[in-house]
Amino acid sequence: MLRWLQHRWTGFCLVIMALGALILFLYGFFPLKYHSGKMAHMDDLPNFIDGISIDGQQVYNSGENTVILMVIDGLRYDFVTEEYMPYTGQLLKNKSACIHVSVAEPPTVTMPRIKSPERKKEKAQWRRTINFWRDIFAMMTGSVSTFADVALNFGAPAVRGDSVLRVAAARGRRSVLYGDETWVRLFPGLWSEYDGTTSFFVTDYTEVDNNVTRHLDKILAPDEKKKPIFDFLVLHYLGLDHIGHLEGARSDKIKPKLIEMDEVVKKIFTQMQYWDRTGVLFICGDHGMRDAGGHGGATPAEVLVPLVLAKTNEFLCPHDKGPGPTVAQVDLAPSVSWLLNVPIPGDSTGRILPALLPQDTRQHLYLLHVVAQHNAKENGLPTDTEFYKQFQRAEKQFAHYLATGQQSAAKIAKEFYEESLEIMSKYLVETTVDFDMFAIGTAICLLYFIVTSLACVTLYSLQPDTNRKLSVTQHKQTSTAGLILAFFIIYSISCFILTTACFITETNSQLCSFDSVWLLALLLIACAFTMSYFLIKSSIEKIKNLSTLKDLNAIDYLLIVGTLFHAWSFLGTSFIEEEHMTWYFFWNTLMFLVLLRTIMVVVIYLSKKLSGATEVQEKPELEQKMSTVGIGIVPKWILLIALHRYLRTMNQTGDRWLFLPDTADWLNAPENKLYLQAHLVIGTLLTLAICLYNVRHMNNFMQMHSAFTVLAILAIFCYRVTSQSLESPFTDIKTWDNVTIVNIFWGLLLAQFIFEILTYIGMFRSCGVRIPNRLSSNEFVFNKPKAKTEDYFYDPCMDEPWNIAEVKLNLARSLSHIMLNDLMLIVTLLMRPHNVIMVPSVYVTCVLTSQCMDHKLLDSRSTKRTDIVDVLSRTLVHLWIGHLFFFYQGNSNSLASVDLGSGYVGLSEYCPVRVALRMGVHAYAGPAIAGAVLFCTIAESSESWHQYLQSIWRATNIFGLQRVYAITVYSVVATIFRHHLFVWSVFSPKLLYDFVATVLTIQAIGTIAQIVWLTHITSWLARLFTNKTRL
């Protein structure tokens, strides 16, 4: 097992395993019970009850009804009394209306507070939509929504599945909406008439409601046949909630508002009585409010809401006076559907309200049967449960009643139906929102094991080289057979433990179903456990010398402690929403410490230099320290701090201060177009300069590479001109097709890469092209002999007659820089115009930071070997920079901040893979560039191929460890808070972000592995070619 520990890419494998564990966790956390998307149809109504035929459509018919749904935001249960709403109270008293208690799911997000500029309306709108999503979704589709419903169609949230409105529209019913615009967004195209009001101003609590009420007279007036001109009317009043937010439930304004609502009820109800049709009015709230104002908790005052049902035509409420029975929000959908004489929506899990059920026994039983059968057909409902059998018994009794007409059978059937329906609805709701705790637990355990073994591997790799070599030689003689045996013993033990756990917990998790696929997953999990066990075991035995860690200075400790602490800060929801604050805070502390340290070094240096050569011994050392950076480092560093202060103001992010105006708003204003273009041009040109500067690491065809880079930048400029973000004197460019431009851009990048590889292989040499011999330092050709071996020509059997290692290092350097250049160019292409400036900023920050954080410069006592601690601190600081720029760029942990526009750069039609790739690169541009710079710096600063490989090994291990550590801690946090109110709006999006970050980390480490692999392949190919030409 030692060989695993020493292997360079063990860390990589562990990160991949961690991704697998994370996927398992996500599987448990987001139940994958998608709504089936089944569309209901009238023909679905059963025509046979246990073999006895019945005319379904005729029995189902509820007559001609007109339904009005009046949603009053923030209507609390105790508001519906005679004291607050006299008319409604009167209706309830004389039993022409029924009141029910309904338990609302509390909404997730509070209202935005401050007036926002136009650019941010979209984000705010998204949050508002999610805010109402659960309630509207439950009321209109009859099913509880899951996070997958929200996450899978962010950007344009609309209900894709079946809903009351869909079936009503399919049957030609006229639906009308007056009220909040969210309804229109969720059900586009299903309204025959609507007037959506948007309100971002909580202070407005009269206008929003007047906008709704002003239509009432017109819409309620019947036509000449005394029929109303609509079938289904939705009214959504927001004013009450706004008052609640502003002043609380004890406010003086509450009472007039409720009386206003009561007037509306009176108006509707009196008008309904003139109609030649039965009118049904539902009044409900979507959530309550606290006495102190606001909502979002789970106290009864916030969760209990009334559902009032009023009906014309001699309706008498069957329930006793009092609080009324408890119903669920999902019950509205089947009730409204039945009243409109349309089928029950496909995914509905609710029941028809008992008060609505008709007196006629046949129809009553038939309706119960329809709902029960509908629910029983839902996906995943087990047929061997008691409630299903109860349903079958009820069906038999119903058939018996139909055949014989016995009232006793009808009575039994009714009882059975109700019993089975109650449990069935509960079961369906629970399975939709339930977590698979077994999978979650297993995944967390596995992640914990993986993170421990990864930490062990990282610590092992941080040992100085010499000691490890010693330990290698000591343990060379271990038998392979013994190892395999040990592996299998542990493997079977972990399999056994997992299986036992399955049976002990009696879980109904899919993981324990022992199906073919799941069995494989289980075996893989056991395998992962075994591998991490062996890794931990052997590294505990082998880690002997961690003396390098003694060289850490205060800044390194800040980096390590900050990284460790950051993962735990997510225990507070605000720290997830405002994660950028944590990073800004850490980064400022770091910059401050580095500033102090550099000032100290420079002042000491200057004072010693000015005071003359009194301390002769210290001087050369100091000179050597300063020679790499110079005195200019202090002003440079201060300028960097100023630059970061500027970048911070570029994009407001997070949640609380999202609405403050920022520099991006200012730049995007039409009158400041010039400044925006200046930003764009400066950013792109700086990128060009950096790329050209990096070209020096490439092969001796520098002018070719420069040409490629300049052409790529030109392509970017052309793209900007065609996409209207840049004005140019050449008006022709505007007419060019930007898809072609972007394709040319890709082609240029690819050509550059292939060209580089080919020159290394020596392809051009074999074609007879002479390489102009300009700079001998840039000459990376294979026929340069090794310095020591002089008689290589006479010894063809010698392993490597040429400077293979050096060439490999050079190739790795040049490939890393090509990777960095390409990445920067791609990001420059994808970024929003105002953000282009970020690209050179990341590079400058990374370079300056790695200069300043050099241990030789900062530490007073200088140890000889600092490269290991240098790698450690550099890796961590680049990770920090990556996170920092992730937030500078305007990202946050909310799905609303995903920039969809960047996904379509240079694409003419939608292609999921390409769009997703572009969006991923755009969102994670900061971390990606910072990582690329890190690996370039490592390649640049290592002196030999061996040292390069060692540094890469350490860096990738630390890179992976940070990621896996973060997801492990976060999965624990998410599990603790799985019932938290913000689980949808805060915790779950962050999980998705973490998932993407893990995938991209794997991709990053994979790229480094590919580079190393490519160098091997290339040198092999080159040996082939050069041998051939020589012989």
Partner 1 sequence: MFSLNNQLELRRVTISSLITCVYLPSIVTVISYKGLLYSVGNASSFYILVLIFIAELLKSFYFKSVNDLQSKKSKPSKNKAGDVLKSFVFLLCVMFSFFVGIILFGAPVLDCHEETLMLSALLTLLTVFPLILHTGVETSMQLLFGVRQFGKDTIIEMLVNNALFTVCGAWLGAVVIPLDWNTPWQVWPIPCHLGAIGGYLISNVLNVLKVTLMSAAIKYPALNLLVSALNKLQISK
Contacts with partner 1 by CB under 8 A lie at: 572-575, 577-578, 581, 584-585, 588-589, 591-592, 599-600, 603-604, 607, 641-642, 645, 648-649, 654-656
Per DSSP, what are the bridge partners of residue 195?
Answer: 178
Shortest gap between Cβ of 571 and partner 1 (angstroms)? 12
Q: Which is nearer to partner 1, 614 or 724 (CB)?
A: 614
SS3 category, 606? helix
CB of 578 to partner 1, least distance (A): 4
Residue with Cβ nearer partner 1 (136 or 647) = 647
CA angle 267, 269, 272 (to 5 degrees): 105
CA separation for the pair 660, 117 (Å, rounded): 9
Least distance in Å: CB of 607 to partner 1?
Answer: 6
Which of 487/584 has CB closer to partner 1?
584
Smallest distance from the beta carbon of 603 to partner 1, in angstroms? Answer: 5
Minimum distance from CB of 715 to partner 1 (Å)? 36
Contact 980, 987 (CB under 8 A): yes
Q: How far is the CB of 638 from partner 1 (least distance, A)?
A: 8
d(CA 55, CA 366): 10
Min separation Cβ 632 and partner 1, Å: 18
The values of phi and psi at residue 383, to 5°, are -95, -5
Closer to partner 1 by Cβ: residue 395 or 665: 665
Task: Give SS3 for 379.
Answer: coil
Give yes or no for a contact between 664 and 651, defined as CB atoms under 8 angstroms apart.
Answer: yes
Residue 710's nearest CA partner among 827, 834, 841, 821 is 821
Distance of CA 989 to the CA centre of its chain: 4
Q: How far is the CB of 245 from partner 1 (least distance, A)?
A: 12
For 550, other C-beta atoms within 10 Å of its C-beta total 8
532 Cβ contact partners less than 8 Å away, ≥ 6 residues apart: 14, 17, 449, 450, 452, 453
Q: Which of 1029, 946, 1023, 1028 is nearest to 782 (CA)?
A: 1023
Find the shortest distance in angstroms from Cβ 94 to partner 1. Answer: 45
For residue 618, the minimal CB distance to partner 1 (Å) is: 14
Least distance between partner 1 and beta carbon 858 (Å):
13
In angstroms, what is the minimal distance from the CB of 582 to partner 1?
Answer: 8
Of the two residues 470 and 603, which places its CB atom closer to partner 1 in the complex?
A: 603
Q: Which is nearer to partner 1, 655 or 665 (CB)?
A: 655
Shortest distance, position 549 Cβ to partner 1, whole Å = 19
Measured from the CB of residue 853, what is the shortest distance to partner 1 in angstroms? 18
Cβ proximity to partner 1: between 277 and 883 the closer is 883
Q: What are phi and psi of 349, to 5 degrees?
A: -120, 5
Q: Nearer Cβ to partner 1, position 12 or 984? A: 984
Which tokens is 171 given?
A: 């049957």
Q: Is 907 helix (H, G, I), strand (E, B) or coil?
A: coil
* Per-residue burial over 58-96, b = 16 or more CB atoms within 10 Å of its CB, e = otherwise: ebbebeebbbbbbbbbbbbbebbeeebbebbbebbeeeb
Q: How far apart are the first and last CA of the chain?
A: 44
Q: Which is nearer to partner 1, 599 or 714 (CB)?
A: 599
The candidate with the shortest Cα–Cα distance to 558, out of 987, 218, 858, is: 858
Please state, as a whole number, how many other Cβ atoms lie within 10 Å of the Cβ of residue 383: 9
What is the C-alpha separation between 987 and 435, in angstroms, rounded?
14
Helices (H), ranges, 142-275: 147-151, 164-170, 182-186, 207-213, 216-220, 239-247, 254-274
Residue carrying structure tokens 């309550």: 288
Tokens read off for 449:
């094991």
How big is the CA angle at 747 (ends 745 and 750), to the nearest 5 degrees?
115
Phi, psi of 715 (to 5 degrees): -60, -40
The minimum distance between CB 892 and partner 1, in angstroms, equals 12
**Residue 603 or 769: which CB sits closer to partner 1?**
603
CA gap 272, 269 in Å, rounded: 5
Tokens of 429: 């709701």
Sign of CA dihedral 135, 141, 145, 149: negative
For residue 178, the cross-strand partners are: 195, 235
- Which residue's CB is nearer to partner 1, number 484 or number 596? 596
β-sheet bridge partners, residue 284: 71, 307
Q: Residue for token digits 């091997």?
A: 1016
Q: Which CB sits closer to partner 1, 602 or 681?
A: 602
- Is the CB of 86 or the CB of 293 nearer to partner 1? 293
Give whichever of 7 and 645 is closer to partner 1, judged by the CB atom: 645
Q: Are strands 97-103 and 304-311 parallel, antiparallel or unpaired?
A: antiparallel
| Angle (deg, nearest 10), helices 804-830 and 673-694 | 170
User: Which of 517/610 has CB closer to partner 1?
Assistant: 610
Tell me how far, at minimum, the Cβ of 850 lies from partner 1, in Å: 21
Min CB(551)–partner 1 separation in Å: 17
**Is 157 or 244 the residue whose CB approaches partner 1 more closely?**
244
By CB neighbour count within 10 A (0-12 exposed, 13-18 middle, 19+ buried), where does 939 fall? buried
Reported as half-sphere exposure (CB side, CA atoms, 13 A), residue 256 has a value of 7
Please, which contacts does 393-397 make with residues 24 or more away whose CB atoms are closer than 8 Å?
A: 394/368, 394/369, 394/420, 395/49, 395/50, 395/369, 396/50
Q: Which of 100/245 has CB closer to partner 1?
A: 245
Nearer to partner 1, 388 or 587 (CB): 587
Least spacing, CB of residue 645 vs partner 1, in Å: 5
**Cβ proximity of 447 and 395 under 8 Å:** no
